[in-house]
Structure formats: structure tokens, C-alpha cells
């Protein structure tokens, strides 16, 4: 283990942010890196507690105490090897993961947890800066052909693992660049897109082929793909957006968050986009939905120069601290405040939007809300109740609907005869990610519903192991927590 008294000597420290006034002038990342000594001290805080609950908190089973120890000792290259043994893309999770590992950290029971996510980011950035992230093409090829549909984190992780096993992997992506929601959903201020490009260069050098601008199900039928490839893994994400079908929802100015965010990311990247400009500039903006997507809409609106930004959440305001009914080491549903929330948004909880109001030209000019409360009935789902006399009218020229996704698109499922659940997530055995059609597998948001990057990478890796076994009878690709740990 690292420094025995580290957790007593050093307080938790993570990267700081540049001042709000400065950072909202552009869409660049705005973290201020720690010095090397500070990061090593953070690694030293890991207690190597014997039963590392952080492993179970991380869906990838990252070998956290091992890389913390390596960082503390300044063995950065070893730390990078340990990290990559379980995580294909730590530069994504090191920036964007909500870090369930930190909620499960033993030190977190009565102290601030180890800053695992930030250590992870520093390890991978050191590795890239020193040229240690190199292509690892397989030593032999099996001549089996695999089609990966979708190039989000699930598809990229599955592709890299399957390529490592020696199969010929082709990734089909309907967009013109790879990354899925990493590129066309998550704003640049959370992750600049050259971070994805840098990793893609490595994947291409390893021999993975990409076919962009190809929508499977439309440009190439799924059954044709099935005939041409030995296995298919579907990683198309959960793309069906939840709607708010109330009066006025067809007014100009009521916009789906993903239309707004993807257009902005395209604009920042100099890529073309369809439809009219959707801009928050000089508008009173209301973001409906309090999750990650809502938070990204807030940061983007502020950077576009919105007059005001309000955020409505239908659920009540959660406690900032872990409550008794959500004990350690489980992931607690507590109030999370993002960097975007702190850039000038006004947050409102227990509030429901009843109607959008338009002018004579059909443009949004306001909306009506009502305060709500949730009645808990034992054994049943909580019931939403409006509070009488709390209706309020708000001026607003742009509404961004950020209420999540309800499921995945069904075209491929219909063409292949795949079973789906009521939410249109494609059904697959959790044991081996196989669908009801032999040779067709599914991973990431398209299987589990709207989720997290770390889960997408994890599912892509797990699915790859089972596809390799399906094709070859056995597999050396690691399962969760079976990273090939290098010797320190
Ligand atoms: C705005 C926003 C912010 C988020 N922020 C975070 C965050 O900070 N941290 C976090 O952990 N998670 C975050 N998430 C969730 C995270 O992005 C997703 O869970 C993750 O990207 C899912 O990965 P995936 O590979 O399953 O699918 P996706 O990333 O959705 O990728 C699916 C890909 O498949 C392609 N595709 C779909 N159908 C076809 C087809 N028929 N043919 C060819 N290609 C196809 C799509 O074009 C897309 O590129 C956020 C989500 C959103 C929307
Ligand atoms: S991927 Fe996420 S959960 Fe896993 S160690 Fe990194 S920050 Fe923690």
C-alpha cells in the first residue's frame, strides 16, 4: 500500500475551475490541473482498506487501490497499465463519470472519499502526454467478421475488445464521426472532442474499420448485415426522447434538449446541421428536467448568452447528504450541483409545467406551472398531486425539454425479429448479452436503457467476452474485475 498515514495527513483535493465569468466566454474545458505532488498526495490518501468497496462501486471493477498506490509512488506508466486493464477509455470516465466508486470508498464513511475520478484522469492524461497510449494490434487474426452498430462508448469498447481477440471488426455509425452521445450530446466544456479523436486514431491503427454515414436498418438492412457477418453487436443507444404533450407543445421555441445540444456541438466543431438555428441568446430559457442533460442545457444556454436560465424539476429537492435509508456503500439519490448549475441558473423543485403560451405568430412567450407534492402510499408508486392556488405564469422564449429517453429505435429489432421490453430496450440475457436471435448481441443504453458512460463501456467489454466465446468456444478477454494486473 501507499502511505500508511496518508489519509490522516492530506485532505481531499480535486481540480478547481476557472472563474465563471471567464469560462462562460467559450465552450472549452475549464478545469485547472493539480500539480504532480498534489496528485501523488491524493493517491496516498487511499487506505488500501483490505476489502476495496470502491471496486464494487465501479461498474468496470477498476483496480483502484492498485493505481492509487502506483500514483503515490510516482509509477505513472504502471498506473496507466493498471487503469487500462479494466477501462478502455479512462479519459472519458475521468472527466464525465459521476464516480459511484467514490460513494463506495471506505474512507467516505467518515471522511471525504479518495478523489478516484480525478486521479484516473491524471493517469490517462500523463499516459497520453508521454506517448504511452499506443496501438496494440492483435498478433493473429481469426478471420471472423463482427459488425458493431453504433460508435458510442459501448460500441467502441466492444470493438476494441473484439479486435484484441483477433476478429475483424467493422463499426457502422450513422453520424459522420464516432462517439455517440460523447460527441453529439455532451458539450465541449465537459469534454473537448479532440479527446475522442485522439483515442479513435489508436483504434484505427489497431485495425478497427469504421463506416460512417451508414444507418443500419435503412442504408443497409439488418438481415443483410446478419448474413455478411459472423456476429452482430447492437450498441445504438437509447434515442427516443420523452415528450411533454401539453397545450402549446408545438409552439416555436419548445425544443427537445438533444436538438439544441447536438446542434451546438456541431456548431462548435464546424459541422453542418439541419434545420433553423436554435439559440438561447437574449432569451429567458426554461430547462425542464433536472438531470445531466438539463445541466448541459444550462451551461450551453449561459454560454450562448441567455438573459435568464431557470431549471424545473418535478421531483422534490433531495437532501445534500446521504440519508439513513440510503446507507453506505450504495449510490445515494442526493442533490447534485454541477458546475453549470453554479454558472447562474435558478433551480426550482416540485414544479410541473401545465401549459405553454404562444403569441399570434405561434412563438413561445411564456408558460404556466403549478407546484406539486408526492404522496407516498405504502406498497404503491408515489402519487403526484398538484397544490391548489400555486399556478404561476413565467415569461420565456425558449423551453428545452430534458426529461430523458424512453427507449431505443425498433427498426433493426423488427428486421431481425428481436424481442424488446415494454420500454423498447432490446432484451438480452444479462448472463451473456445475447438476444433471442443467435449471433446477435446488444450492449449499452440500447439494452439497459438510458444510463452512464461507465456502464456503456462495461457492457461493451462484457458483451465482447461473450461474443468471443460464442465464436471460438472460449475467450481470454477479461470479464468485470478480471483486468490483467501488471506487476508493480
Ligand atoms: C446530454 C447528455 C449528457 C450526458 N452526460 C453524461 C455524463 O456526464 N456522464 C455519464 O456517465 N453519462 C452521461 N450521459 C449518458 C451517456 O452519454 C450514455 O449513457 C452513453 O453515451 C451510452 O452509450 P451507448 O454507446 O450505449 O450509446 P450512445 O452514446 O447513444 O451511442 C449510440 C450510437 O449509435 C448510433 N446509432 C444508433 N442507431 C444506429 C443505426 N441504426 N445505425 C448506425 N448507427 C446507429 C448513434 O448515432 C450513436 O452514435 C449523458 C447523456 C446525455 C444525453
Ligand atoms: S470509471 Fe467511474 S466508477 Fe469506475 S473508478 Fe472511474 S470514476 Fe470510479
Report the distance separating Cα 189 and Cα 198, nearest Å.
Answer: 17
- The β-bridge partners of 247 are 355
**Has residue 488 got a pLDDT over 80?**
no
**Residue ID of nearest Cα to ligand 1 atom 20:** 453
Instruction: Indicate the pLDDT class of residue 50, thresholds 50, 70 and 90.
Output: confident
**Residue ID of nearest Cα to ligand 1 atom 1:** 293
Number of the ligand 2 atom closest to the C-alpha atom of 57: 3
Instruction: Please state, in angstroms and as integers, the Cα–Cα distance from residue 87 to each residue in 84, 121, 219, 352, 483, following that order.
Output: 5, 12, 32, 40, 9
> CB 362: neighbour CB atoms within 10 A?
11
**Has residue 243 got a pLDDT over 60?**
yes
* Domains in the chain with CATH codes: 6-129 (1.10.1060.10), 145-239+406-472 (3.50.50.60), 243-403 (3.50.50.60)
Query: What are the pLDDT digits (tens) for 375-391?
Result: 888 888 889 999 999 99
Ligand 2: which of 89, 97, 481 to mutate, judged by most atoms within 8 Å of the beta carbon? 97
Please give the pLDDT value at position 4. Answer: 87
3-state secondary structure (DSSP) of residue 227: helix
- pLDDT over 70 for what percent of the chain? 98
CB-based contact 94:75 (threshold 8 Å): no
Give just the sign of the alpha carbon dihedral 91, 94, 100, 104: positive
Number of the ligand 2 atom closest to the C-alpha atom of 62: 5
> CB 119: neighbour CB atoms within 10 A?
27
Report the distance separating Cα 442 and Cα 432, nearest Å.
Answer: 10
**Has residue 486 got a pLDDT over 70?**
no
Ligand 1: which of 185, 192, 337, 405 to mutate, judged by most atoms within 8 Å of the beta carbon? 185
Instruction: Indicate the pLDDT class of residue 485, thresholds 50, 70 and 90.
Output: very low
Residue with cell 496516498: 44
CB-based contact 309:287 (threshold 8 Å): yes
Number of the ligand 1 atom closest to the C-alpha atom of 454: 11
Distance 157 CA to ligand 1 centre (A): 13
Query: Nearest-CA neighbor of 347 among 404, 297, 405, 388?
Result: 297
Distance 449 CA to ligand 2 centre (A): 20
Distance 181 CA to ligand 1 centre (A): 4
**Residue ID of nearest Cα to ligand 2 atom 6:** 117
**Has residue 265 got a pLDDT over 50?**
yes
Average pLDDT, the chain: 95
Residue 175: in which H helix or E strand, if any?
Answer: none
Please, is 139 exposed, middle or buried when counting C-beta atoms within 10 Å of its C-beta (0-12, 13-18, 19+)?
Answer: exposed
Query: What are the pLDDT digits (tens) for 103-159?
Result: 999 999 999 999 999 999 999 999 999 999 999 999 999 999 999 999 999 999 999
Query: Nearest-CA neighbor of 23 among 184, 189, 135?
Result: 189
**63 alpha carbon, closest ligand:** 2
Please give the pLDDT value at position 481. Answer: 61
Check if 175 has its Cβ closer than 6 Å to any atom of ligand 1. yes
Query: What are the pLDDT digits (tens) for 3-24?
Result: 889 999 999 999 999 999 999 9
For 218-238, what is the mean pLDDT?
97
Query: What are the pLDDT digits (tens) for 75-107?
Result: 999 999 999 999 999 999 999 999 999 999 999
Please give the pLDDT value at position 245. Answer: 96
For 197-224, what is the mean pLDDT?
98
**159 alpha carbon, closest ligand:** 1
Please give the pLDDT value at position 274. Answer: 93
Radius of gyration in angstroms for the set of CA atoms belonging to the chain, rounded to a whole number: 23
**Has residue 484 got a pLDDT over 60?**
no
Please give the pLDDT value at position 487. Answer: 35
Please give the pLDDT value at position 381. Answer: 87
**DSSP designation for 106:** G
Instruction: Indicate the pLDDT class of residue 308, thresholds 50, 70 and 90.
Output: very high
Query: What are the pLDDT digits (tens) for 329-385?
Result: 888 888 999 999 999 999 999 999 999 999 999 999 999 999 999 988 888 888 999
**Has residue 203 got a pLDDT over 80?**
yes
Number of the ligand 2 atom closest to the C-alpha atom of 93: 1
Query: What cell numbers appear for 159 in the block?
Result: 470493438
**Residue ID of nearest Cα to ligand 1 atom 2:** 293
Report the distance separating Cα 297 and Cα 402, nearest Å.
Answer: 8
Amino acid at each position: 500500500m501507499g502511505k500508511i498515514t496518508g489519509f490522516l495527513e492530506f485532505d481531499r483535493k480535486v481540480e478547481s475551475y476557472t472563474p465563471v465569468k471567464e469560462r462562460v466566454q467559450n465552450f472549452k474545458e475549464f478545469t485547472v490541473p493539480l500539480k504532480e505532488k498534489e496528485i501523488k498526495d491524493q493517491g496516498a490518501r487511499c487506505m488500501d482498506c483490505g476489502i476495496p468497496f470502491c471496486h464494487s462501486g465501479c461498474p468496470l471493477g477498476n483496480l483502484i487501490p492498485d493505481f492509487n498506490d502506483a500514483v503515490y509512488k510516482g509509477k505513472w506508466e504502471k498506473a496507466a497499465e493498471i487503469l487500462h486493464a479494466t477501462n478502455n477509455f479512462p479519459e472519458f470516465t475521468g472527466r464525465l463519470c459521476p464516480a459511484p466508486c467514490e460513494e463506495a470508498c471506505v474512507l467516505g464513511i467518515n471522511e471525504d472519499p479518495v478523489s478516484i475520478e480525478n486521479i484516473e484522469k491524471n493517469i490517462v492524461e500523463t499516459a497520453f502526454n508521454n506517448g504511452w497510449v499506443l496501438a496494440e494490434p492483435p498478433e493473429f487474426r481469426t478471420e471472423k467478421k463482427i459488425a458493431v452498430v453504433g460508435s458510442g462508448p459501448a460500441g467502441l469498447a466492444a470493438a476494441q475488445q473484439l479486435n484484441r481477440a483477433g476478429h475483424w471488426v467493422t463499426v457502422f455509425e450513422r453520424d459522420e464521426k464516432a462517439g455517440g452521445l460523447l460527441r453529439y450530446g455532451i458539450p465541449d466544456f465537459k469534454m473537448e472532442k479532440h479527446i475522442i479523436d485522439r483515442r479513435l486514431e489508436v483504434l484505427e491503427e489497431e485495425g478497427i474499420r469504421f463506416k460512417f454515414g451508414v444507418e443500419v436498418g435503412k442504408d443497409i438492412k439488418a438481415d443483410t448485415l446478419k448474413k455478411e457477418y459472423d456476429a452482430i453487436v447492437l450498441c445504438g443507444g437509447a434515442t427516443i426522447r420523452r415528450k411533454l404533450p401539453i397545450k402549446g407543445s408545438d409552439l416555436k421555441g419548445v425544443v427537445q434538449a438533444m436538438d439544441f445540444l447536438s446542434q451546438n456541438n456541431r456548431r462548435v466543431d464546424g459541422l453542418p446541421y439541419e434545420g433553423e438555428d436554435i439559440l438561447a441568446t437574449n432569451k429567458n430559457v426554461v430547462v425542464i428536467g433536472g438531470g445531466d442533460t438539463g445541466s448541459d442545457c444550462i451551461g450551453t444556454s449561459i454560454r450562448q448568452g441567455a438573459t435568464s436560465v431557470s431549471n424545473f424539476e418535478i421531483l422534490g429537492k433531495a437532501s445534500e447528504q446521504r440519508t439513513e435509508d440510503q446507507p453506505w456503500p450504495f449510490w445515494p439519490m442526493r442533490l447534485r450541483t454541477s458546475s453549470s448549475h453554479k454558472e447562474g441558473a435558478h433551480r426550482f423543485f416540485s414544479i410541473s409545467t401545465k401549459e405553454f403560451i404562444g403569441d399570434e405568430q405561434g412563438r413561445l412567450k411564456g408558460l404556466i406551472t403549478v407546484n406539486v407534492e408526492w404522496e407516498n402510499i405504502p406498497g404503491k408508486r408515489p402519487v403526484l398531486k398538484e397544490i391548489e392556488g400555486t399556478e404561476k405564469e413565467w415569461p420565456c422564449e425558449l423551453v428545452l425539454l430534458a426529461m430523458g429517453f424512453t427507449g431505443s429505435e425498433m427498426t433493426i429489432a423488427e428486421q431481425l425479429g428481436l424481442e424488446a421490453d415494454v420500454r423498447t430496450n432490446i432484451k438480452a440475457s444479462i448472463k451473456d448479452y445475447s438476444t433471442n436471435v443467435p449471433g446477435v448481441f446488444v450492449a449499452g443504453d440500447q439494452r439497459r436503457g438510458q444510463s452512464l458512460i461507465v456502464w456503456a463501456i462495461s457492457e461493451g467489454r462484457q458483451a465482447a467476452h461473450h461474443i468471443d466465446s460464442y465464436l471460438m468456444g472460449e475467450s481470454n478477454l477479461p470479464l468485470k474485475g478480471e483486468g490483467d494486473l501488471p506487476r508493480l
